[in-house]
Every structure is written in C-alpha cells, then in structure tokens.
Amino acid sequence: MNQAKRTPLAFFIACLFLGILFLSQAPVHAASLNKIQTSVYVNRTVQLSPTSGTASGWKSSNSSIATVSGSGLVRGIRKGTCTISCTVNGKTLKCTMNVRRKQTSRFVSNAYAKVWLNLLGAVESGSQTYGRRNYSAFAGPGANSPNEISCTAGAYQEYGENLRQLLKAIKKQYPYSFKGRDTANIADDLSYSWDSRPYTVSPGSAKAKAIQNIISCNAGKFVQDLRAIELLDAYLTNIKTLGVTNLRSAMFMAECYHLGGFAAVRRVVNRAGNKNKLASLRVSLYKDQSDNVFSYQIGDKIYYTRHELIYKWLRQYIPASARI
C-alpha cells in the first residue's frame, strides 16, 4: 500500500530529471555575424563580430575592395562589393560588404549637395518643409498630373523608369535587404522598362507596400540620397550645355528638370533675358502660364508655390557668386 502511494512521486522525479537532462543537451543557437550585409565608405571602417563564440581566420574575398583585421574590423578600399568571412566553431560565417564612395557631386561641394537633397525632398515628399523628406512616399498613376501614367515613389519622387532603376540599384547593392522585403515579387517586375510598359500599381496594394518597405529601409534611404545626387549631376551636365553656369540658376533649372524634363528647361532658359540670373529665369518660367495650349507645364500656377520655395531657399543657402 505504501509502495503504491510512492510510485507517482517517483515517476514525477524521474520525469523532472529526464527533462533537465534533455535541456542540458539541447543544441545551442548557431552563431552568426552581427551583420550579414552592410556598407562602408572608402577609407572608413565597420566592425564585424559573431553573435556567439570566438571568430578566427578573418578574410576578404577581394582585398582591393575591402580589408579585414584579425579582430573583424573592415576597412573600405575602393568602390565595389566583396565577401568578408570568418570561422566560428568550425562553421564559416559570411557578410556581403558594399564599399561606397562618399555621396559627392562632380559639380558642387558636399554642403551644396546637401542643400539639393533638402530642397528637393521638401517639395517632393516633405510637405514643403526644408530638410524634411518621406522616403516611403508612393503615388499611383495620375496622382500628380493626368500626364503621369506610371507610378512615382520615394523621397525625391522618382517616376516610371527612374523608379525601376532605383529599385534595381537597391537590389544589386543590398540583395538581402531587398529580398527580405520583397513580399510581392517586385524583382520579377524589374525585367522590363517602366517607360515602354508603364507600372500602374495602386497605392495600398501589396506591390505598393512591398516597394515602400524596400525603399524606406536603411539601404533604400542610402541609395535614394545617392541617386538624387547622381540625378543632380546628370541634370547639371545638360543644363551647362545651355550656357547656365551660375549655381543658383543651375539648381533652379535642375529642380525644373526633375519636374518636367530637359525640353521644358531648354524652353525656359532660351527665353530668359539672362540665363545666369535667378530672377530672370523665374520670370521666364512663369511665362508658361500665358500658354493655354498645353496644360501642366512646369511654370503653370499649379506648381507656383513649389517654385517660390525653391527660389527662396536657393537665395538663402546658395551664395550668388557660386558657380558650377
């Protein structure tokens, strides 16, 4: 009788012992690197380290792009992509390293390039507040004008094919960041031109949300800023061919270029009394309002507030004597 009463207690103790033994033998979570994909500027460093265990055998797949010390400190050497690896408990861990040049312009200083980002982001997505920008902004076809038949997205509102190129750049430079946020097979849509085949995705759709997640992550923000500066250089390259060399005037026309293309800029510059005087270009721009044949020209009243803010900020942040 007493033995029967003790049996449940003995069984409980045995199960408890076996449970403790099982837990003690449970596998430890595998180690990984603190970053599986990251960026570093040329001549700058970033620290890699394992989440557990001790790393050894650090090496770079291309030491002409990035080097790594015995403690996992990576230094960018030149623009490019390589793999940094190490060994932890017999397992090889890897990190994709993107070495980037600094976000600099070929035509303007870093300070003036920042002015460009601040003013363009403000009028495109930042509620017309200087320095504010919305990296996840998304507008469907026709949201800005009936002439827009494709989608527009990002802090600097890249339209159609430009948006595709932005997404392709993020996918190429940060494949893990892109893949982890591509919940709607956006990668498949990048195989064709969005100019020849307009991308007509509606805001709030699964594809729109995936694009917003991709472009608003840290990698997406970085690429957006870099592309905005690259676009400035592209705009200034063509604007210089029109004889515009004053920086205030050139940036004013660059913003117009971003809004309406080079043909519109050429029209404004060619009819200006002084193409290198900001006030003269402003007068020429608003002559679009007297043309009733074409709607949504860059100087029309619908864009007046936008241009006036750009005009004010350029006078505030760019010296009158600055040149490109």
pLDDT in tens, 37-65: 888 888 889 999 999 999 999 999 999 99
Q: How confident is the model at residue 293 (pLDDT cuts 50, 70, 90)?
A: low
The verdict on residue 171 lying in a domain is no
Q: What confidence score (pLDDT) does residue 8 get?
A: 55
> Tell me, what CATH number does 71's domain have?
2.60.40.1080
The verdict on residue 41 lying in a domain is yes
The verdict on residue 186 lying in a domain is no
Q: How confident is the model at residue 156 (pLDDT cuts 50, 70, 90)?
A: very high
Which whole number is the average pLDDT over 167-195?
Answer: 94
Least confident window among 12-16, 33-37, 253-257: 12-16
Report the Cα 184 to chain-centroid distance in Å: 19
The verdict on residue 185 lying in a domain is no
Closest-CA residue to 125 (of 152, 145, 162) = 152
| 89-124 residue pLDDT tens | 999 999 999 898 776 898 999 999 999 999 999 999
**160: phi > 0 → left, psi -120 to 50 → alpha, else beta; which?**
left
Question: Which structural domain, as residue segments, surrounds residue 44?
Answer: 37-100
Q: What confidence score (pLDDT) does residue 13 get?
A: 53
The verdict on residue 57 lying in a domain is yes
Q: What confidence score (pLDDT) does residue 27 get?
A: 44
Q: How confident is the model at residue 176 (pLDDT cuts 50, 70, 90)?
A: confident
The verdict on residue 55 lying in a domain is yes
Q: What is the mean pLDDT of the chain?
A: 89
The verdict on residue 91 lying in a domain is yes
User: Which amino acid is it at 173?
Assistant: Q
Number of domains in the chain: 1
Which whole number is the average pLDDT over 247-275?
Answer: 96
**Ordered DSSP codes for 41-66:** EBT-EEE--BSSS-EEEEEES-TTTE
| 158-174 residue pLDDT tens | 999 999 999 999 998 88
The verdict on residue 82 lying in a domain is yes
pTM of the model: 0.74
